[in-house]
Structure 1
Amino acid sequence: MKEFESRNAREEIECAVCLEYIHLTEIAALRCGHTFHPLCVSQRVKDDQKCPVCKKQAQEDSIIPRLFFEINEKENSAMNEAAAIINEITSTLSKLDIELELIYLQIEHNSALLRIMSKMITACIKLLEKK
Protein backbone atom coordinates (compact mmCIF):
# COMPACT_ATOMS: atom_id res chain seq x y z
CA MET A 1 0.00 0.00 0.00
CA LYS A 2 1.11 3.54 -0.66
CA GLU A 3 2.85 5.37 2.17
CA PHE A 4 0.90 8.29 3.59
CA GLU A 5 2.83 11.51 3.29
CA SER A 6 2.20 14.35 5.66
CA ARG A 7 2.24 17.68 3.96
CA ASN A 8 1.27 20.99 5.44
CA ALA A 9 -0.85 22.85 2.88
CA ARG A 10 0.60 26.15 4.05
CA GLU A 11 4.16 25.21 3.13
CA GLU A 12 3.75 26.18 -0.53
CA ILE A 13 1.91 28.94 -2.36
CA GLU A 14 1.72 29.86 -6.03
CA CYS A 15 3.77 32.62 -7.67
CA ALA A 16 1.43 35.00 -9.52
CA VAL A 17 4.01 35.52 -12.29
CA CYS A 18 5.20 32.02 -13.28
CA LEU A 19 2.31 30.12 -11.62
CA GLU A 20 4.74 27.67 -10.04
CA TYR A 21 4.80 26.88 -6.35
CA ILE A 22 6.97 28.95 -4.04
CA HIS A 23 8.32 27.27 -0.96
CA LEU A 24 8.11 29.46 2.13
CA THR A 25 11.90 29.69 2.28
CA GLU A 26 12.09 31.46 -1.10
CA ILE A 27 9.30 34.03 -1.09
CA ALA A 28 9.36 37.76 -1.87
CA ALA A 29 6.55 40.31 -1.72
CA LEU A 30 5.56 43.78 -2.79
CA ARG A 31 4.23 46.35 -0.35
CA CYS A 32 0.71 45.66 -1.63
CA GLY A 33 1.09 42.19 -0.11
CA HIS A 34 1.25 40.00 -3.21
CA THR A 35 3.89 37.26 -3.15
CA PHE A 36 6.20 35.91 -5.84
CA HIS A 37 9.51 34.22 -6.50
CA PRO A 38 12.18 36.89 -5.90
CA LEU A 39 13.49 36.71 -9.47
CA CYS A 40 9.98 36.77 -11.02
CA VAL A 41 8.89 39.90 -9.15
CA SER A 42 12.22 41.64 -9.69
CA GLN A 43 12.08 41.22 -13.47
CA ARG A 44 8.39 42.13 -13.70
CA VAL A 45 8.74 45.30 -11.59
CA LYS A 46 11.85 46.30 -13.50
CA ASP A 47 9.88 46.05 -16.79
CA ASP A 48 6.43 47.34 -15.76
CA GLN A 49 6.89 49.30 -12.50
CA LYS A 50 3.59 47.71 -11.36
CA CYS A 51 2.45 44.79 -9.26
CA PRO A 52 1.62 41.91 -11.64
CA VAL A 53 -1.57 41.20 -9.66
CA CYS A 54 -3.19 44.47 -8.57
CA LYS A 55 -1.31 46.82 -10.95
CA LYS A 56 -0.36 49.22 -8.12
CA GLN A 57 2.79 51.23 -8.73
CA ALA A 58 5.93 49.42 -7.60
CA GLN A 59 9.63 50.11 -7.76
CA GLU A 60 12.51 47.71 -7.35
CA ASP A 61 13.22 49.16 -3.91
CA SER A 62 9.63 48.36 -2.85
CA ILE A 63 10.29 44.63 -3.18
CA ILE A 64 10.54 42.84 0.14
CA PRO A 65 13.18 40.30 -0.93
CA ARG A 66 12.60 37.70 1.75
CA LEU A 67 9.77 36.88 4.13
CA PHE A 68 10.00 34.73 7.23
CA PHE A 69 7.11 32.64 8.51
CA GLU A 70 6.68 31.01 11.89
CA ILE A 71 5.37 27.50 11.30
CA ASN A 72 3.62 25.93 14.23
CA GLU A 73 5.91 23.07 15.23
CA LYS A 74 3.16 21.43 17.27
CA GLU A 75 0.97 21.17 14.18
CA ASN A 76 3.82 19.75 12.07
CA SER A 77 4.69 17.32 14.85
CA ALA A 78 1.06 16.21 15.10
CA MET A 79 0.91 15.75 11.32
CA ASN A 80 4.10 13.66 11.37
CA GLU A 81 2.77 11.59 14.27
CA ALA A 82 -0.53 11.04 12.45
CA ALA A 83 1.35 10.01 9.31
CA ALA A 84 3.43 7.52 11.31
CA ILE A 85 0.29 6.04 12.87
CA ILE A 86 -1.41 5.76 9.47
CA ASN A 87 1.68 4.06 8.02
CA GLU A 88 1.77 1.63 10.96
CA ILE A 89 -1.93 0.81 10.57
CA THR A 90 -1.49 0.35 6.81
CA SER A 91 1.42 -2.03 7.40
CA THR A 92 -0.56 -4.00 9.99
CA LEU A 93 -3.54 -4.25 7.63
CA SER A 94 -1.29 -5.59 4.87
CA LYS A 95 0.09 -8.24 7.22
CA LEU A 96 -3.42 -9.18 8.36
CA ASP A 97 -4.55 -9.49 4.72
CA ILE A 98 -1.72 -11.96 4.10
CA GLU A 99 -2.55 -13.92 7.25
CA LEU A 100 -6.23 -14.05 6.28
CA GLU A 101 -5.33 -15.36 2.82
CA LEU A 102 -3.20 -18.08 4.44
CA ILE A 103 -6.11 -19.04 6.70
CA TYR A 104 -8.43 -19.34 3.68
CA LEU A 105 -5.87 -21.57 1.95
CA GLN A 106 -5.59 -23.76 5.07
CA ILE A 107 -9.39 -24.06 5.22
CA GLU A 108 -9.50 -25.13 1.56
CA HIS A 109 -6.71 -27.65 2.18
CA ASN A 110 -8.45 -29.06 5.27
CA SER A 111 -11.77 -29.29 3.39
CA ALA A 112 -10.07 -31.27 0.63
CA LEU A 113 -8.50 -33.60 3.23
CA LEU A 114 -11.92 -34.10 4.87
CA ARG A 115 -13.47 -35.05 1.52
CA ILE A 116 -10.69 -37.56 0.88
CA MET A 117 -10.99 -39.02 4.39
CA SER A 118 -14.77 -39.23 4.04
CA LYS A 119 -14.39 -41.21 0.81
CA MET A 120 -11.83 -43.48 2.48
CA ILE A 121 -14.16 -44.09 5.46
CA THR A 122 -17.06 -44.82 3.11
CA ALA A 123 -14.86 -47.29 1.21
CA CYS A 124 -13.76 -48.95 4.47
CA ILE A 125 -17.38 -49.27 5.64
CA LYS A 126 -18.35 -50.92 2.33
CA LEU A 127 -15.46 -53.37 2.69
CA LEU A 128 -16.48 -54.21 6.25
CA GLU A 129 -20.11 -54.73 5.21
CA LYS A 130 -19.05 -57.25 2.57
CA LYS A 131 -17.30 -59.42 5.15
Structure 2
Amino acid sequence: MESENLIKQELEELQKQLGKKQKFEDAVSSLKSLLQQSYPSASTSLRKSFYTVICRVATVLKTRYTAPGFWSAGLGLFEQAISFVSEPSEKEHLKACIAQARENLHLEDNPSQTLQTAVNRENRGYLFEGHLTVDQEPPQPDWMVQANLLAAAARLFEAESSQGLATNGSTEDDAASVLEMLRNRLEEVVPLMETGGPVAPRVPPASKEVVAKLPVISLTEEILANMGKDAECAICRENLVLNDNMQELPCKHTFHPPCLKPWLEEHNSCPICRYELQTDDHAYESWKEREKEAEEERKGAANALRGGEFMYV
Protein backbone atom coordinates (compact mmCIF):
# COMPACT_ATOMS: atom_id res chain seq x y z
CA MET A 1 0.00 0.00 0.00
CA GLU A 2 2.83 2.34 0.84
CA SER A 3 4.47 1.64 -2.52
CA GLU A 4 1.20 2.48 -4.30
CA ASN A 5 1.01 5.78 -2.45
CA LEU A 6 4.50 6.59 -3.70
CA ILE A 7 3.45 5.74 -7.27
CA LYS A 8 0.39 8.00 -6.93
CA GLN A 9 2.63 10.83 -5.77
CA GLU A 10 4.88 10.23 -8.76
CA LEU A 11 1.83 10.32 -11.07
CA GLU A 12 0.73 13.62 -9.53
CA GLU A 13 4.17 15.06 -10.15
CA LEU A 14 4.15 13.84 -13.77
CA GLN A 15 0.72 15.43 -14.27
CA LYS A 16 2.15 18.76 -13.11
CA GLN A 17 5.07 18.39 -15.52
CA LEU A 18 2.61 17.90 -18.42
CA GLY A 19 1.66 21.55 -17.99
CA LYS A 20 5.22 22.67 -18.82
CA LYS A 21 5.98 22.52 -22.51
CA GLN A 22 9.69 21.82 -22.09
CA LYS A 23 8.99 18.88 -19.77
CA PHE A 24 6.00 17.36 -21.61
CA GLU A 25 7.82 14.73 -23.69
CA ASP A 26 10.02 13.62 -20.77
CA ALA A 27 6.94 13.34 -18.56
CA VAL A 28 5.17 11.18 -21.17
CA SER A 29 8.24 8.96 -21.48
CA SER A 30 8.40 8.52 -17.69
CA LEU A 31 4.69 7.77 -17.62
CA LYS A 32 5.16 5.01 -20.21
CA SER A 33 7.92 3.42 -18.13
CA LEU A 34 5.85 3.64 -14.95
CA LEU A 35 2.84 2.19 -16.76
CA GLN A 36 4.90 -0.77 -17.98
CA GLN A 37 6.34 -1.48 -14.54
CA SER A 38 3.41 -0.86 -12.21
CA TYR A 39 0.05 -1.09 -14.01
CA PRO A 40 -0.23 -4.93 -14.31
CA SER A 41 -0.08 -5.42 -10.52
CA ALA A 42 -1.79 -2.16 -9.55
CA SER A 43 -4.99 -1.89 -7.53
CA THR A 44 -8.20 -0.52 -9.06
CA SER A 45 -7.59 2.84 -7.38
CA LEU A 46 -4.06 3.13 -8.78
CA ARG A 47 -5.23 2.12 -12.25
CA LYS A 48 -7.76 4.94 -12.13
CA SER A 49 -4.94 7.32 -11.26
CA PHE A 50 -2.96 6.13 -14.29
CA TYR A 51 -6.00 6.60 -16.52
CA THR A 52 -6.60 10.12 -15.20
CA VAL A 53 -3.06 11.20 -16.09
CA ILE A 54 -3.31 9.57 -19.54
CA CYS A 55 -6.54 11.49 -20.18
CA ARG A 56 -4.75 14.66 -19.14
CA VAL A 57 -2.11 13.98 -21.82
CA ALA A 58 -4.89 13.78 -24.41
CA THR A 59 -6.45 17.05 -23.22
CA VAL A 60 -3.14 18.91 -23.25
CA LEU A 61 -2.43 17.70 -26.79
CA LYS A 62 -5.83 18.91 -28.01
CA THR A 63 -5.72 22.27 -26.29
CA ARG A 64 -2.11 23.39 -25.96
CA TYR A 65 0.74 21.43 -27.56
CA THR A 66 -0.13 20.65 -31.19
CA ALA A 67 3.33 20.12 -32.73
CA PRO A 68 3.93 16.68 -34.36
CA GLY A 69 6.62 15.75 -31.81
CA PHE A 70 4.16 16.07 -28.93
CA TRP A 71 1.47 14.08 -30.79
CA SER A 72 4.01 11.36 -31.56
CA ALA A 73 4.85 11.04 -27.86
CA GLY A 74 1.16 10.91 -26.99
CA LEU A 75 0.44 8.28 -29.65
CA GLY A 76 3.10 5.99 -28.19
CA LEU A 77 1.55 6.35 -24.72
CA PHE A 78 -2.03 5.72 -25.94
CA GLU A 79 -1.01 2.63 -27.93
CA GLN A 80 0.81 1.21 -24.92
CA ALA A 81 -1.99 2.05 -22.48
CA ILE A 82 -4.74 0.42 -24.57
CA SER A 83 -2.97 -2.94 -24.25
CA PHE A 84 -3.20 -2.69 -20.45
CA VAL A 85 -6.66 -1.28 -19.66
CA SER A 86 -9.63 -3.63 -19.40
CA GLU A 87 -12.57 -1.27 -18.84
CA PRO A 88 -14.58 -1.04 -22.12
CA SER A 89 -15.19 2.71 -21.71
CA GLU A 90 -11.47 3.34 -21.17
CA LYS A 91 -10.57 1.25 -24.23
CA GLU A 92 -13.04 3.19 -26.37
CA HIS A 93 -11.67 6.53 -25.20
CA LEU A 94 -8.11 5.43 -25.89
CA LYS A 95 -9.12 4.24 -29.37
CA ALA A 96 -10.46 7.72 -30.03
CA CYS A 97 -7.22 9.26 -28.70
CA ILE A 98 -5.15 7.01 -30.98
CA ALA A 99 -7.32 7.89 -33.99
CA GLN A 100 -6.97 11.61 -33.31
CA ALA A 101 -3.21 11.33 -32.83
CA ARG A 102 -2.82 9.37 -36.08
CA GLU A 103 -4.97 11.94 -37.87
CA ASN A 104 -2.78 14.79 -36.63
CA LEU A 105 0.33 12.89 -37.69
CA HIS A 106 -1.24 12.02 -41.09
CA LEU A 107 -1.00 8.29 -40.37
CA GLU A 108 -4.52 7.39 -41.52
CA ASP A 109 -3.50 4.13 -43.18
CA ASN A 110 -6.36 2.04 -41.84
CA PRO A 111 -9.62 3.32 -43.35
CA SER A 112 -11.73 0.63 -41.66
CA GLN A 113 -10.51 1.68 -38.22
CA THR A 114 -11.17 5.34 -39.04
CA LEU A 115 -14.67 4.45 -40.26
CA GLN A 116 -15.40 2.45 -37.09
CA THR A 117 -14.29 5.39 -34.96
CA ALA A 118 -16.67 7.65 -36.85
CA VAL A 119 -19.51 5.13 -36.40
CA ASN A 120 -18.81 4.93 -32.68
CA ARG A 121 -19.00 8.71 -32.42
CA GLU A 122 -22.30 8.72 -34.33
CA ASN A 123 -23.76 6.17 -31.91
CA ARG A 124 -22.90 8.16 -28.77
CA GLY A 125 -26.01 10.36 -28.91
CA TYR A 126 -26.04 14.05 -29.70
CA LEU A 127 -25.09 17.26 -27.91
CA PHE A 128 -28.01 19.25 -26.52
CA GLU A 129 -27.58 22.32 -24.31
CA GLY A 130 -24.06 21.30 -23.40
CA HIS A 131 -24.90 17.68 -22.48
CA LEU A 132 -24.22 14.53 -24.50
CA THR A 133 -27.46 12.54 -24.54
CA VAL A 134 -27.79 8.78 -24.23
CA ASP A 135 -30.74 8.55 -26.61
CA GLN A 136 -30.62 9.04 -30.35
CA GLU A 137 -31.37 12.40 -31.90
CA PRO A 138 -35.13 13.17 -31.97
CA PRO A 139 -37.14 12.90 -35.21
CA GLN A 140 -36.55 15.53 -37.87
CA PRO A 141 -39.16 18.30 -38.28
CA ASP A 142 -41.74 17.87 -41.03
CA TRP A 143 -40.19 20.43 -43.35
CA MET A 144 -36.87 18.57 -43.25
CA VAL A 145 -38.60 15.21 -43.81
CA GLN A 146 -40.38 16.73 -46.81
CA ALA A 147 -37.16 18.07 -48.30
CA ASN A 148 -35.24 14.82 -47.78
CA LEU A 149 -37.98 12.58 -49.16
CA LEU A 150 -38.60 14.70 -52.23
CA ALA A 151 -34.86 14.93 -52.93
CA ALA A 152 -34.56 11.14 -52.65
CA ALA A 153 -37.56 10.65 -54.92
CA ALA A 154 -36.09 13.05 -57.49
CA ARG A 155 -32.81 11.13 -57.51
CA LEU A 156 -34.62 7.81 -57.99
CA PHE A 157 -36.84 9.11 -60.78
CA GLU A 158 -33.71 10.47 -62.48
CA ALA A 159 -32.12 7.02 -62.18
CA GLU A 160 -35.29 5.49 -63.64
CA SER A 161 -35.14 7.67 -66.74
CA SER A 162 -31.46 6.91 -67.37
CA GLN A 163 -31.31 3.20 -66.44
CA GLY A 164 -34.85 1.85 -66.18
CA LEU A 165 -36.19 0.39 -62.96
CA ALA A 166 -37.05 -2.92 -64.57
CA THR A 167 -33.38 -3.74 -65.14
CA ASN A 168 -32.16 -2.62 -61.76
CA GLY A 169 -33.56 -4.57 -58.82
CA SER A 170 -31.68 -2.54 -56.22
CA THR A 171 -33.02 0.77 -57.57
CA GLU A 172 -36.52 -0.68 -57.70
CA ASP A 173 -36.33 -1.66 -54.03
CA ASP A 174 -35.03 1.80 -53.13
CA ALA A 175 -37.85 3.45 -55.06
CA ALA A 176 -40.46 1.30 -53.35
CA SER A 177 -39.01 2.15 -49.96
CA VAL A 178 -39.01 5.92 -50.60
CA LEU A 179 -42.52 5.86 -52.08
CA GLU A 180 -43.77 3.92 -49.07
CA MET A 181 -42.26 6.57 -46.77
CA LEU A 182 -43.92 9.29 -48.85
CA ARG A 183 -47.26 7.52 -48.59
CA ASN A 184 -46.94 7.07 -44.82
CA ARG A 185 -46.12 10.74 -44.29
CA LEU A 186 -48.52 12.11 -46.93
CA GLU A 187 -51.01 13.55 -44.47
CA GLU A 188 -48.23 15.47 -42.72
CA VAL A 189 -46.17 16.50 -45.75
CA VAL A 190 -48.88 17.71 -48.13
CA PRO A 191 -50.47 20.33 -45.79
CA LEU A 192 -47.03 21.78 -45.17
CA MET A 193 -46.39 22.00 -48.93
CA GLU A 194 -49.76 23.68 -49.48
CA THR A 195 -49.36 26.26 -46.72
CA GLY A 196 -45.70 26.95 -47.41
CA GLY A 197 -44.70 26.28 -43.81
CA PRO A 198 -41.93 28.22 -42.08
CA VAL A 199 -38.84 26.61 -43.57
CA ALA A 200 -35.79 28.14 -41.92
CA PRO A 201 -32.57 28.02 -43.95
CA ARG A 202 -29.72 25.89 -42.70
CA VAL A 203 -27.39 27.89 -40.48
CA PRO A 204 -24.07 28.51 -42.33
CA PRO A 205 -20.71 28.13 -40.53
CA ALA A 206 -19.53 30.97 -38.33
CA SER A 207 -17.35 33.60 -39.98
CA LYS A 208 -13.70 32.52 -39.77
CA GLU A 209 -12.69 36.12 -39.09
CA VAL A 210 -15.16 36.36 -36.20
CA VAL A 211 -13.97 33.04 -34.73
CA ALA A 212 -10.31 34.09 -35.02
CA LYS A 213 -11.06 37.24 -33.00
CA LEU A 214 -12.73 35.38 -30.11
CA PRO A 215 -10.64 35.99 -26.96
CA VAL A 216 -8.58 33.14 -25.52
CA ILE A 217 -8.09 33.03 -21.76
CA SER A 218 -5.88 30.87 -19.58
CA LEU A 219 -7.62 29.36 -16.58
CA THR A 220 -6.30 30.66 -13.27
CA GLU A 221 -7.05 29.27 -9.83
CA GLU A 222 -9.54 32.08 -9.26
CA ILE A 223 -11.42 31.39 -12.51
CA LEU A 224 -11.52 27.66 -11.80
CA ALA A 225 -12.85 28.30 -8.30
CA ASN A 226 -15.66 30.45 -9.74
CA MET A 227 -16.51 27.78 -12.34
CA GLY A 228 -16.92 25.08 -9.69
CA LYS A 229 -15.20 21.85 -8.77
CA ASP A 230 -16.42 19.71 -11.70
CA ALA A 231 -16.12 22.34 -14.45
CA GLU A 232 -15.66 20.84 -17.91
CA CYS A 233 -15.61 21.71 -21.60
CA ALA A 234 -19.20 21.14 -22.75
CA ILE A 235 -18.02 19.81 -26.13
CA CYS A 236 -15.29 17.25 -25.30
CA ARG A 237 -16.48 16.69 -21.70
CA GLU A 238 -12.92 16.85 -20.33
CA ASN A 239 -12.53 18.32 -16.83
CA LEU A 240 -10.86 21.73 -16.81
CA VAL A 241 -7.59 22.24 -14.95
CA LEU A 242 -5.20 25.06 -14.19
CA ASN A 243 -3.64 26.81 -17.24
CA ASP A 244 -6.06 25.31 -19.76
CA ASN A 245 -6.60 27.69 -22.70
CA MET A 246 -10.28 28.49 -23.26
CA GLN A 247 -11.97 30.45 -26.04
CA GLU A 248 -14.82 32.73 -24.96
CA LEU A 249 -17.97 33.35 -26.98
CA PRO A 250 -19.85 36.67 -26.71
CA CYS A 251 -22.38 34.86 -24.50
CA LYS A 252 -19.47 34.37 -22.01
CA HIS A 253 -19.44 30.55 -22.26
CA THR A 254 -15.95 29.11 -22.80
CA PHE A 255 -14.60 26.01 -24.57
CA HIS A 256 -11.29 24.50 -25.66
CA PRO A 257 -10.29 26.26 -28.94
CA PRO A 258 -9.69 22.96 -30.84
CA CYS A 259 -13.16 21.79 -29.75
CA LEU A 260 -14.98 25.03 -30.51
CA LYS A 261 -13.70 25.65 -34.05
CA PRO A 262 -15.13 22.47 -35.70
CA TRP A 263 -18.30 22.81 -33.63
CA LEU A 264 -18.94 26.33 -34.97
CA GLU A 265 -18.18 25.19 -38.51
CA GLU A 266 -20.90 22.55 -38.27
CA HIS A 267 -23.46 24.12 -35.93
CA ASN A 268 -22.58 27.82 -35.46
CA SER A 269 -24.23 28.09 -32.07
CA CYS A 270 -23.12 27.94 -28.47
CA PRO A 271 -23.55 24.33 -27.27
CA ILE A 272 -24.98 25.65 -24.00
CA CYS A 273 -27.27 28.61 -24.82
CA ARG A 274 -27.55 28.38 -28.65
CA TYR A 275 -26.12 31.88 -29.21
CA GLU A 276 -25.32 32.30 -32.94
CA LEU A 277 -22.20 34.00 -34.31
CA GLN A 278 -22.15 36.14 -37.42
CA THR A 279 -21.64 34.27 -40.71
CA ASP A 280 -20.19 35.24 -44.10
CA ASP A 281 -23.46 34.31 -45.80
CA HIS A 282 -25.12 37.63 -46.72
CA ALA A 283 -28.40 35.96 -47.75
CA TYR A 284 -28.69 34.22 -44.38
CA GLU A 285 -27.82 37.38 -42.45
CA SER A 286 -30.49 39.29 -44.42
CA TRP A 287 -33.02 36.55 -43.62
CA LYS A 288 -32.16 36.85 -39.91
CA GLU A 289 -32.71 40.60 -40.03
CA ARG A 290 -36.07 40.14 -41.74
CA GLU A 291 -37.10 37.55 -39.17
CA LYS A 292 -36.06 39.86 -36.35
CA GLU A 293 -38.12 42.71 -37.81
CA ALA A 294 -41.11 40.43 -38.39
CA GLU A 295 -40.89 39.18 -34.79
CA GLU A 296 -40.87 42.75 -33.50
CA GLU A 297 -43.90 43.55 -35.66
CA ARG A 298 -45.74 40.50 -34.32
CA LYS A 299 -44.96 41.51 -30.75
CA GLY A 300 -46.09 45.08 -31.46
CA ALA A 301 -49.37 43.85 -32.97
CA ALA A 302 -49.96 41.55 -30.01
CA ASN A 303 -49.32 44.39 -27.53
CA ALA A 304 -51.65 46.70 -29.47
CA LEU A 305 -54.36 44.02 -29.46
CA ARG A 306 -54.05 43.53 -25.71
CA GLY A 307 -54.18 47.33 -25.23
CA GLY A 308 -57.38 47.52 -27.27
CA GLU A 309 -58.96 44.79 -25.18
CA PHE A 310 -58.29 46.75 -21.99
CA MET A 311 -59.84 49.90 -23.50
CA TYR A 312 -63.15 48.16 -24.10
CA VAL A 313 -63.36 46.35 -20.76
> Quick check: TM above 0.5?
no
- The TM-score, its normalising length taken from structure 2, stands at 0.16
Q: Which has the higher strand share?
A: 1
- The TM-score, its normalising length taken from structure 1, stands at 0.36
| Bigger Rg over Cα | 1
Q: Which has the higher helix share?
A: 2
